[in-house]
Chain A
């Protein structure tokens, strides 16, 4: 992460937030849905593809517990999602900003 801004898809953003405490795939979907007040519902194909990519990027770690895969957002993943949060906050603040030319 060389200071370059990374844009996350909505699903990726929600998955990284939902997996901040260890959870299985179906649980990530349920958490993402409730955290977004029902707006973000992630299908299993999308979930699988996103997790695979996030694991390869080391933003999410996976371990097998009793034959079930448990996913956890890594420190790096948390840093990425925090940067995205800051980027989005800046965009939101712009909305109410001043459009005069001076300064």
Chain B
């Protein structure tokens, strides 16, 4: 048995998405697949689970070694979506409840995410400029501007998070 739910979470608020998925697991629904806004769950024994998200822009084969280390620590690889990799473990089955446990490696992870958002923001701003003033004028530039602003905000929030870890490193 499966069920589908539509939810919107922002990448700078991964704790909210974790809490949502962990609540569903408590109710006996384990995440099975993800499409934009669309979460598919399968029926399972209700339980205390932990969800973690890794991010890597690497290809599946380049990422494979990291995935193997993570699963050897008791994590189940649930799905990949545009570089985000979802993991799940039963609480108590894993010794560290996070994939990343020190400021050094957390900085490394969020640095990559920040880079992604900065690139996306630049691409969208340049598309918007092109639509407003360039050859492809007349296109709905406001959408591109809105996306660029949203992604810039995501970059800002990620940068803020990064500062917390960086302060711990000093």
A residues sitting closer than 8 Å to B (CB atoms) are 9-11, 24-26, 29-30, 33, 41-51
Contacts and interface: CB of A to CB of B under 8 A. Distances in A.
A44 B72 contact: yes
B9 interface: no
Bin chain B's interface residue count.
10 to 19
B93 interface: no
Contacts of B70: 44-45, 48
User: Which secondary structure dominates where chain A touches chain B?
Assistant: helix
Interface string B103-131: 01100110000000000000000000000
10 contacts: A9-B102, A29-B73, A44-B96, A45-B98, A45-B100, A46-B99, A46-B100, A46-B102, A49-B105, A51-B69
A51 B69 CA distance: 11
B102 A44 contact: no
A53 to B, nearest CB: 10
A49 B69 CA distance: 10
Given A29-B96, A42-B96, 14 more contacts: A26-B72, A43-B73, A43-B100, A44-B69, A44-B70, A45-B54, A45-B66, A45-B98, A45-B99, A45-B109, A46-B96, A46-B100, A49-B105, A50-B105
